Amino acid sequence: MKHRWAWVSIALVVMVLVATMAATATTYSNWSGKYRVGETVLFKVDTEQFWWWGCCCCCCNQQPACPAVQISGWHVADSTGKTIYQVVFDTPVDASGWQGSWGQVDSSNAAVPAGYYTLYVDTTVGTLSRHIQIYDPCNCCWSWSWNCNTCTEVASITNCGCRTSLVLLKEVATNNCCVPLFWWPCCPNH
């Protein structure tokens, strides 16, 4: 009987560790968003079908594949919520082959100052948003500041086993699947 409880305890600990690592990996990959003044902000929209513990969600039988996501435009707002730069497409574009870029300028093509901004992308599944911090490496005040607005961003929209996410391409380049807590091996093909 003791051995049985030992195995159950080990299994529960392993399940908690796996769940923690998955949550940490997601949080870690979405934590980014800091750019130096003048650095181009590259971004894209990803859609993936996800599974939880080897089972699909309740409505996967009704919708086996994720729908093609289209983008109708995007804009950047400053910390007050005022739109400072906007792009609207004449016809929606497929998210699968699209990549956006923002050169840290406003609508009059003037460079924006260091500060906090929000990137919004309008898609057929809803509006995605990510917070961006532009910092001046020569100004020590920006190097230790924390972004407190992450609770209001909509980095992902989940519907029926499909997740559509706004991905800052700088995140992809900085290895978004290594879990810093456990030094977990990196995911290939991510």
First to last CA, the chain: 43
Residue of 66, 81, 97, 88 lying closest to 164 (CA atoms): 66
How many Cα atoms are found within 13 Å in the side-chain-facing hemisphere of 123?
29
- Residue type for position 43: F
Instruction: Please report the pLDDT score of residue 52 as a whole number.
Output: 55
Tokens of 97: 């082959």
Reduced to 3 states, what is the DSSP secondary structure of residue 97? helix
Cβ(131)–Cβ(149) below 8 Å: yes
- The residue assigned the tokens 């699209």 is 98
Residue ranges of domains in the chain: 33-173
Question: What pLDDT, on a 0 to 100 scale, did the predictor assign at position 151?
Answer: 53
d(CA 36, CA 136): 6
| DSSP H helical ranges for 73-185 | 140-143, 169-173
Q: Which two tokens stand for residue 112?
A: 């924006």
List beta partners, residue 86: 75
CATH class name, domain 33-173: mainly beta
- Output the pLDDT for position 32: 66
Q: What pLDDT is recorded for position 64?
A: 60
- What does the pLDDT profile of the chain (190 residues) look like in tens digits? 666 777 777 777 777 666 555 444 443 344 468 999 999 999 999 988 866 544 555 555 555 678 899 999 999 999 999 999 999 999 999 999 999 999 999 999 999 999 999 999 999 999 999 999 999 877 655 444 444 454 567 888 887 778 889 988 876 655 444 444 444 444 443 3
CB 72 within 8 A of CB 123: yes
Q: Which pLDDT does position 43 carry in this prediction?
A: 96
Tell me what pLDDT residue 18 has.
60
What's the one-letter identity of residue 25? Answer: A
